[in-house]
Amino acid sequence: MDEQPHDPSTGPSGESGESGTPGAPSESGTPGAPGTPRASAAPARKRRRKMDPKRSAILGAMFLMATSAIGPGFITQTTVFTVQLGAAFAFAILVSILVDIAVQLNVWRIIGISGLRAQVLGNKVLPGAGLVLAILVFVGGLVFNVGNVAGTGLGLNAMLGLDPKIGAALSAVLAILIFLSKRAGLALDRVVVVLGVLMILLMLYVAIVAAPPVGSALKNTVLPEQVDFLAITTLIGGTVGGYITYAGAHRMVDSGNSGLENIRPITRAALLGVIVTGVMRVLLFLAVLGVVSGGAVLTGQNLAADAFRIAAGEIGIRLFGIVFWAAALTSVIGASYTSVSFITKLSGSDRVRNLLTVAFIAVCAGAYLLLGQPPQTLLVFAGAFNGLILPLGFAVLLWAAWRRRDLLSGYQYPRWLLLIGVLAWLLTLYLGWNSIAGLRALWA
């Protein structure tokens, strides 16, 4: 478990397996003759076009973190709370982004430098702590993923008019096929990047046509007219709580990108991931705010779909369906991958890990198909529940950075980074406590 991580599906035996086939050397070693610069330059261009496996894995980890944070829960929560709070919800967005920066910079650095998953670090810091963390994250991921599967059904319903349960079942099958592929890790990385970029572009379009009151949103970002603790806690829990905290960092370590020699790309990927997440959050918020501020009344079981329809007409519903389905599918992938990473070893068989992930997805899909709980309520609950898990796991990692330099190869952890991590931890502890009363009211 402590050895250097290696993921055959994406590491050196992944993408480099293609570029290192017999055809590659023969291509560069054949008539690379003088006087034929085009022929000799072609292989080089081909190699440049083929992304380095290490960079591809880091990019995939970055987008896995971002798309896991922007799941169907966030879209639902944003719509519900924007309807309730209006522009004042901008303050909750700002708090979630600041907490996201403080949490993810620390999580990526600590896990990345140590080369150990969070539960392994937890057991080394305090025997048994890692086990407790693994159980909590796994159970929380299970609950959250039922909501993610429900979200895929809502997305396909808006996009194609399919029955939500049929859409959820089809989406679960698609996610399962990704993990059953021979190169599951590479497939995972490619899917989350493509869908992440697609979501950004579509939300940008809707945000523009919705014409939101940007000035009012900016004012409420720093001077909110109303502060709602449940909204803030739910948003933080749904974007940096539970399994989401570790999605990108675990993927990065699993692909073999860890250790002090990788500290710069690790930090860069964490920052870019937070930026991508922040951009997606702001665009979605502005899109919904533009609709609500225009005096539109959102009704029905799918408030977010109504918002997109009012903003862009009939095509808006289809765009919403694409965005919501993409967000839900990437979250199903992220939740399943990360939750299973908490109950398996780095040195274990990739096939066994993938089969466990497939079983995890199947259980979540089955639970949703049998569950009568309305999807929106389930998604909001999952975010608040994950907000209660966050303080425990983050505290373990911060302790490792502060008192266990031996786990970080003797690395002197930056005091400023540790300080903002502690401040974020105190905030999540306080907000988590406040969310308990909110959860009771939610299910009353």
**Which amino acid is present at 417?**
L
* Position 28 pLDDT exceeds 70: no
Give residue 305's pLDDT: 83
The answer to whether 141 and 335 have CB atoms below 8 angstroms apart is yes
Banded pLDDT at 226 (limits 50, 70, 90):
confident
pLDDT bin (cut points 50, 70, 90) of residue 292 is: confident
Would the pLDDT of 166 be above 70?
yes
The architecture of the domain spanning 70-443 is Up-down Bundle (1.20)
pLDDT higher than 80, residue 209:
yes
Range 96-113 average pLDDT: 90
* pLDDT for the residue 136: 84
**Per-residue DSSP letter, 11:** I
CA distance 247 to 253: 10
Residue 87's alpha-carbon distances to 90, 191, 221, 227, in angstroms, are 6, 33, 8, 11
pLDDT (mean) for 200-207: 91
End-to-end Cα spacing for the chain: 44
Render pLDDT for 38-96 as a digit per residue (tens, 0 to 9).
444 555 455 445 556 677 778 888 999 988 888 877 787 788 888 888 899 899 888 88
- CA-CA distance, 61 to 262, in Å (whole number)? 14
Q: With a cut of 50, say whether residue 25 has pLDDT above it.
A: no
Confidence at residue 393, expressed as pLDDT on a 0 to 100 scale? 87
Position 392 confidence tier, pLDDT thresholds 50, 70, 90: confident
CA angle 140/8/1 to nearest 5° reads: 55
| pTM (two decimals) | 0.81
Predicted local distance difference test score (pLDDT) of residue 382: 61
Q: Which amino acid belongs to residue 310?
A: I
Whole-number pLDDT of residue 314: 87
Q: What pLDDT does 418 receive? A: 95
Domain residue ranges in the chain = 70-443
